[in-house]
Structure 1
Amino acid sequence: MRFHRARKALIPLATAAILGVTLAGCSSGGTPPASTTPKEDLSGVTLNVAADWSGAEQANFEKVLAQFSSETGAKVNYTSYGSNVATTLNTKIAGGDPPDVAVIPQPGLLKSLAQAGNLIPLSADTLATVKKYYSQDWIDLGSVDGKTYGVWFKGSNKSTVWYNTKVYQNAGADVPKTWDDFVAALQKVSDSGVPGLSIGADVGWPLTDWFENIYLRTAGAAKYDQLTNHEIPWTDPSVIDALTILSKLWSNSALIEPGGAQRTFGDSVTEVFGNPPKAGTVYEGDFVAGNITSQTKSVIGTDAKFYDFPSINGSDPAVVGGGNAAIQLKDNKGAAALMSYLAGPEAATIWVKLGGFTSPNNGVDVSNYPDDTSRQIADALVNAKTFRFDMSDQAPSAFGGTSGSGEWKILLDFYQNPTNIQGTAKALEAAATADYGK
């Protein structure tokens, strides 16, 4: 299903709310969170839960669900929708067989589902839990027309660049602060005999994160908001500037490991942290840590570290963030109980301890983060002078969240032919005009 909506119906997020999103998961406190699992017996209840997580993330989330099952007696079946969350979920809804609960990464999708009448608002008890443990900004991100539908179970810092410390040391490459230093570091790594950068872009979504980080630093927060809401065209000079920077990087075959258009994101992580490493650097969000831990023998904080996405033209520290919101699609007591469980700190703490996870829940004790690196990730998100939620996740799903179409496909085409800057901008504008409905 494609989404054609007017801008005002798309994402009614106040700029102040986006600026003020905080990672409440960095609260302090010396006691573990009290259980928020419902006390009622759910024996005999079967729930179907879906999300986009697979691999290590799926395994960790299934441990969260297993604890819910242990404490309530409910049976929970998990299905991964992979990269096609919007398409698959809407197909299930149209067929009359949606999951009881889904966890989705796109505020735009949440809002369209709510506006179509496909979501169940949070119960009064769950809403009270959310208000207790979440900042108002995260509540606003899960609300539509005065009703709250989403529990932002997972947050993410998508402005982290991960590197193999041994590769960098061998190459004599320093941790960069600026974009020019970043390119220079990649060159040093490549000169040492290992490609500087591995990219996994087979379905396109990692490329949207590249664009957003560069655009936020070159165009600024105000234009970022305007482009997010399609108030300026994708042919705007600010977009051309960002695409030009990407073009120079992606067209430099001396720095980038070949095959990125066919490589998965997970495989790009393995390329950098496997034995032997086949590249020195991989860009993506804090969830890279989970892939490193599950797919390689590298140790976070020793073999594998990250630095903040570099400053461009003197830009202040900035973070593009994301998250995954739990939503309820079936009106039954089991689904409502699971939503209540996911809203509390107990559920989030299970995954926090496993690594590769950052929680917006302020009931999660910072001491539960397993290492200095995960605390560094959280600190970077909290203290960023500029924060913006992932642009493509706020867009209509047909434009910003669907494999094989919209921004994903167009940027993947651009990655494979990075000289076509003007053509890429025009293609993005044409797709945005169709999918935003203006």
Structure 2
Amino acid sequence: MKTRRVILASCTALALALGASACGGGPVTPAGGGDKTLDGQTLTVAGVWSGTEQKNFQKVLDAFTAKTGAKTQFVSTGDNVSTVVGSKIEGGNAPDVVMVPQVGVLQQFAKEDWLKPLSRTTEKAADTNYASVWKSYGTVDSTFYGLYFKAAHKSTVWYSPAALDQAGVKPPKTYADMLKAGQAVADSGLPAFAVAGEDGWTLTDWFENIYLSQAGPEKYDLLATHTIPWTDPSVEKALTTLGTLFADKELVAGGQKGALGTDFPGSVEKVFGPDPEAGMVYEGDFVAGVAKDEFGKKIGEDAAFFPFPAVDGGKAPVVSGGDAAVVLKAGKNQKAAMAFLEYLATPEAAAVWAGAGGFLSPNKKLDLASYGDDTTRETAKSLIDAGDSVRFDMSDQAPAAFGGTKGAGEWKLLQDFLRDPSDPKATAAKLEAAAAKAYKG
């Protein structure tokens, strides 16, 4: 599970009505119009969110209530969504809707026969309002189960404008230029990068961006599904590229040991905290929330980003993550659940959270003016403009035993590689052994 941080701001109003029809059955009561046609029903939605994210999602639930009359209840699952949802199904108190944060978990739910196919209205909205890649990630065995509502842009490098100005460099366009800029920052007296090596998931994100740009989207898809092994030469090449950075003690704040002792919030603090220890930190758009909320930085002025740069002549990568809404068969309020999914597919629903902050939508019909600041608008535009070249976080597509378990699988092996990046070939072999075991299981 990937760490999330968000920004809290003001909320926009919601407008238009939504018509709907059920999947393979009779009509579903429209979600729009404020006609209170779901009065008396209570919709239970489960998800990983807590804190500010949960409060902002509650605004979306409240807007749905205002339009339909359905009461809503949010249940926070914590990180282990699969276990919690499974136990609730067994106990006869399954939620109606689950916001699933990993493709692998969505696929697991489908294979367990826990999910109800989404309505034709929702599927039509996905076809119209989203790049097709998002629908594909919500589809299992040709059946559309998951609608992506919230996205993350994981191809952003955040930096201190003051640090780059002091070094006399501008945001780079290529990976090679990024390392050169990093050396200039180091020469000016500040290590270039804060690397959150204590959190293995950040290292998978580093790898995925390099791999997507260097090897290309077709290879990325093959590796993500373990159609090609991790011993493929393209993996060793990407690890070699990553290892060049990891091995350079001038570029990495604290060297390998310091990086392995730095978690994600700590990596942001090293760049944007009161006593800067680095000039740049790579991670997703959610870095902005930490820089603003925890350290009072003005986004776009005190903290800015540049797109993760192209590697070895490839295209600049756009790696994403996100939360897909699914409807459980075991839920007690199918009518309200289907209406809620149809509502989530509209740009109006996305505008609620966009106005509240800490949110990106893959819905290309959402007006960028709905976002509260220029930097978020720029990030959202980059995500939308990438279209079908967006690729979902690879580790989130893998079985959790390989791609999502602390102290095991890819997380641990990339931490080991950060500790000693001298043998990419051996690391690739270890990754393949762990992947083969996890995918077989």
Range into which the TM-score falls when normalised by the shorter chain? 0.7 to 0.9
Question: What residue identity is the alignment partner of 1:147?
Answer: T
Query: Where does residue 223 of structure 2 map in the other structure?
Result: 227
Alpha-carbon distance between aligned partners in 2 of 1:42 and 1:293, rounded to the nearest angstrom: 40
Shift of 1:322: 2.5
Whole-angstrom CA distance in 1 between matches of 2:105 and 2:297: 36
Please, what is the CA RMSD of the aligned residues? 2.8
1:314-367 per-residue CA deviation (whole Å, 9 max, x = no partner) reads: 223332223221112224244334333322222211221233322122331122
Q: Structure 1 residue 181: deviation in Å?
A: 1.7
How many angstroms apart in 2 are the aligned matches of 1:320 and 1:112? Answer: 22
Q: Which residue of 2 aligns with 1:395?
A: 398
Please name the residue that 2:27 is paired with.
none
How far does residue 33 in structure 1 lie from its aligned partner after superposition? 4.6
Match of 1:427 among 422, 427, 430: 430
Q: What letter is aligned with 2:208?
A: E
Residue 348 of structure 1 aligns with which residue? 350
When residues 126 and 180 of structure 1 are mapped into structure 2, their CA distance, relative to the original with a 3 A threshold, is closer
Match runs of 1:265-304 below 5 Å: 265-304=264-303
Q: Distance in 1 between matches of 2:43 and 2:392?
A: 34
Question: What are the within-5 Å matches in structure 2 for residues 4-403 of structure 1?
Answer: 33-36=15-18, 37=31, 39-43=36-40, 45=42, 47-51=44-48, 53-69=49-65, 71=67, 72=69, 74-82=71-79, 84-86=80-82, 88-90=84-86, 93=89, 98-258=94-254, 259-329=258-328, 330-332=331-333, 333-384=335-386, 386-403=389-406
Change (3 A) 1:369 1:243: same
Is the contact between residue 362 and residue 384 of structure 2 (CA under 8 Å) also seen in structure 1? no
1:108 positional shift: 2.4
Deviates most, 342-351 or 72-81: 72-81
Cα deviation 1:264-293 (Å, max 9, x = unaligned): 323322332222333221111223223333
1:165/1:305 contact within 8 Å kept: yes
Moved more, 62-71 or 354-363: 62-71
Instruction: Identify the residue that residue 20 of structure 1 maps to in structure 2.
Output: none
Q: CA deviation at 1:211?
A: 0.5
**Does the 8 Å contact 1:205/1:408 carry over to 2?**
yes
What TM-score do the two structures reach when normalised by structure 1?
A: 0.83
Count of aligned pairs: 406
Question: How many Å apart are 1:304 and its aligned residue?
Answer: 1.3
Conservation of the 8 A alpha-carbon contact between 1:197 and 1:280: yes
* Unmatched 5+ stretches in structure 2: 1-12, 19-30
Could you tell me whether the CA contact under 8 Å between 1:203 and 1:409 is conserved in 2? Answer: no
| Post-superposition offset of 1:250 | 1.4
Q: Which moved more, 1:61-70 or 1:177-186?
A: 61-70
Provide, for residues 118-149 of structure 1, a one-character-per-residue CA deviation record: whole Å limited to 9, x for no partner.
Answer: 11222344444444533443223212233221
* Percent of residue pairs bearing the same amino acid type: 46
Partner amino acid for 1:369?
Answer: Y
Contact persistence 2:156–2:285 (CA under 8 A): yes
Question: RCO greater where, 1 or 2, for CA within 8 Å and sep 6 or more?
Answer: 1
